[in-house]
Structure 1
Amino acid sequence: MTTVTAAPTLLIIAKEPVPGRVKTRLTPPYTPHEASALAEAALADTLRTALRVPARRRVLVLDGTPGPWLPPGFDVVPQVAGGLDERIAGAFAVCDDGPALLVGMDTPQLTADTLALVGGGGHDAWFGPAVDGGFWALGLADPSQAGPLVRGVPMSADRTGAIQRRRLVEAGLTVRDLPLLRDVDTASDAASVARLCPSGSAFATVLHSLAEVAR
């Protein structure tokens, strides 16, 4: 078992919020431009939360081009080609020594207190299960292990999280489970997540403004 006390490298894997390319399951009821506005707000919330947590390094692993939504304090690296399993493994490959935690852009309700659970306690891995059966976070004390742990895991399935967590356990890693969170995939998800967002959330603000316009 690896004893870890260092602040982790924080990896945020995301798509550039371009209409028609992000959050397509929100359309309908939202238009592609409204869905991209929600995606941008969710990403902005996630990046802002990452800035509130001690980190060895903060890295945005991006499919696309950075925009004005990106605050200072992040290195930006492109996603590798391939399926999501390959892209996650590629994200961990940019890390130096020390623990690393990867999260997506779909959980704007994420708090700094939750992120701060990673990096201590003598664990080898951290796992954040998602309501839809996937996972919203994956952390490794040794990020060089990510390739064989992640590659080949079927993504976007209702057993994705269970399979990924089993991979960690079968590799002999001690796993700390993080809180269960809901990803924003559908309009129903968006409404549920907005109610859980911290005060000042860009995502909740945008969702509320769209609801006001629809009245």
Structure 2
Amino acid sequence: MSGSVLVMAKAPVPGRAKTRLAGVAGPQGAAELAAAALLDTLAAGAEAFPTGHRVLALDGDLNDGCRSAAIRRALRGWVVVPQGGATFGERLVDGHRQAHRRARGPVVQIGMDTPQVSAALLRDVAELAHRHGGPVLGPAVDGGWWVLATTHAGQADVLEGVPMSRPDTGRLTAAALAAAGHRAAVAVALRDVDLPQDAEVVAAMAPQTRFATTWRAVTADALDGAPVVATVTVSP
């Protein structure tokens, strides 16, 4: 079965990435957490899909972010494209179009908010989309969604009209797909890392990840009352 992965990500720049974690980790620590989450996500995508079937749609410049050298090493075998569009919905639509131009089969699109995702789960979503012959939507615990697999780029067009980052985004996305004639199959639910409590749960669920290692480091610094600098050495 063919398929590809599309990762929509923001460069892990302090003050721009994972800002809702900055209250615990500080801007630098939040960016380190974002970098670790991106590295975990890229590793899962690379294990799930071969070279030529991996696309990263990037917002920002890796040179300005944390762990840029490690991220660049992890991106060997990936196609990196800039995100296009003014709104997040438009950028999602553009990402699906770019990925479908480069690879056959279902495009499995995720963000950098689920560092616990596994290669096996990504392949399962692609297989479900292949069998279903249409999109697959994976709900997030907060009411959004963590994955959207499309079997052709036009299925993602509905995202331009869906409000994002709301507790009903998942329901509205499923309804928009159905209204356009693309009823979505449902994948397993995952927890997005948006808030500190999400980070704590995900780190406990997937303690072997780079994200969990970094979370333990920055929260230990916070509990000690020390400035959070997150000087963590984690293998890419």
Fold shared, TM-score > 0.5 on shorter chain: yes
SS at match of 1:41: helix
- 1:185 aligned residue (194, 204, 226): 194
Aligned to 1:7: 2
Aligned to 1:209: 217
Moved more, 201-210 or 40-49: 201-210
Alignment coverage as a number of residue pairs = 208
Q: Contact 1:131/1:183 (CA < 8 Å) preserved in 2?
A: yes
SS at match of 1:109: coil
5+ long unaligned stretches in structure 2: 63-67, 225-236
**Of Structure 1 and Structure 2, which has the larger fraction of its residues in helix?**
2
Moved more, 181-190 or 61-70: 61-70
Q: Contact 2:25/2:219 (CA < 8 Å) preserved in 1?
A: no
1:197–1:123 Cα change, 3 Å: farther
Aligned to 1:3: none
Pairwise CA RMSD of aligned residues? 1.5
Counterpart CA distance in 2 for 1:169 and 1:73 is 35
The alpha carbon displacement at 1:198 in A equals 6.0
Counterpart CA distance in 1 for 2:56 and 2:179 is 29
Aligned to 1:65: 61
**1:103 correspondence with 2:121:** no
Aligned to 1:53: 48
Moved more, 160-169 or 54-63: 54-63
Counterpart CA distance in 2 for 1:152 and 1:173 is 15
Equivalent positions of 1:1-215 (< 5 A) are 6-55=1-50, 57-66=53-62, 67-68=68-69, 69-70=71-72, 71=74, 72-94=76-98, 95-96=100-101, 97-117=104-124, 118-119=126-127, 120-147=130-157, 149-197=158-206, 199=208, 201-213=209-221, 214-215=223-224
Aligned to 2:233: none
Q: Taking structure 1 as the reference length, what is the TM-score of the superposition?
A: 0.91
* 1:212 partner amino acid: A
Aligned to 2:228: none
Runs of 4+ in 1 over 3 A off after TM superposition: none
1:81–1:175 Cα change, 3 Å: closer
The alpha carbon displacement at 1:99 in A equals 1.7
Moved more, 117-126 or 43-52: 117-126
5+ long unaligned stretches in structure 1: 1-5
Counterpart CA distance in 1 for 2:61 and 2:39 is 15
Provide, for residues 119-171 of structure 1, a one-character-per-residue CA deviation record: whole Å limited to 9, x for no partner. 33233011111111111111111123322x21110011111110001112222
The alpha carbon displacement at 1:208 in A equals 1.2
Counterpart CA distance in 1 for 2:19 and 2:132 is 40
